[in-house]
Structure 1
């Protein structure tokens, strides 16, 4: 009887070890992303040294575009915490840089993203009390730039902006930061004052 119990027990243990050593079926896990802590919104007046004033987020830096020596009023608003940069290009409207040419140039830059974009939404910008008019482009998809705009007074001043992340375009991972920065850029646009 003891032999039968030992044999049965040995068989059960062998069976459990054999079953326990079988590989489990593979189940892919969804990709996870880091939790992002956003700073409190606070804006400061930035001295551009150019024919326009602007308020920028307190956690950003306004710097001259190092690649430009010819255009002294091309500035970058760096967002070091998010590895992003808003390129600002200022032009004085003139016969050599007419308003129609500048606006078409901005539209061309936006629509170069058509191959990767899933949609391009346009929204009019109009602040009559500050003589500020333009268009903001929200570009959806895995594109190099997901938000661009231009504003002007239509006669003298023209400012174009384009937001870029220093990362491989992957909208799923940057979407929360993009939404956060869009709000800040909208505030920046609303505070532009021509000199």
Structure 2
């Protein structure tokens, strides 16, 4: 990320610890084998999910402990679900399940139309009651923002409120962030790192290559 780049207020960057930098160094390296890529990517995903949950609304809740003492705590307000943008977003589903027991997860498949070169919806399967839930949208890479924007439009068409969506991704480009928040200023983005930008082929640089291919072991 350029030292002169100022993050928009809608973007929450993970705390840039030495641990996170070390994990990112492993997943970005072209020398990293698939088993290690999966293991360390999963660790970053877990950090993203934990931070995403911090942005959900809470209410006060008083309970009694086994000692008979009172404890003034908190409880999440409302229910959540995850929605992965296939296929790379599916790599983030397990991290969400590890943090939120029995969480419902929907899927959206968007691919570029070969004629128009625009993102096109091919498939969507969402929880029937998604309009009443907070949604964690999952996609590890935010490059141009085209697929993410199309996915959010699907959610809005299913009556999900914009302010109830939290978008989680590992690596984003400034261009993708700008395009996304221009369309959806009420959505919070939680991101691991913001890179320098996009190359001529619209790949994030320095990036980590094709995340889905590296995670699932396909070309």
TM-score by length of 2: 0.25
Higher RCO (C-alpha under 8 Å, 6+ residues apart):
2
> Based on CA coordinates, which of the two structures has the bigger radius of gyration?
1
Q: Please state which structure has a larger fraction of its residues in strand.
A: 1
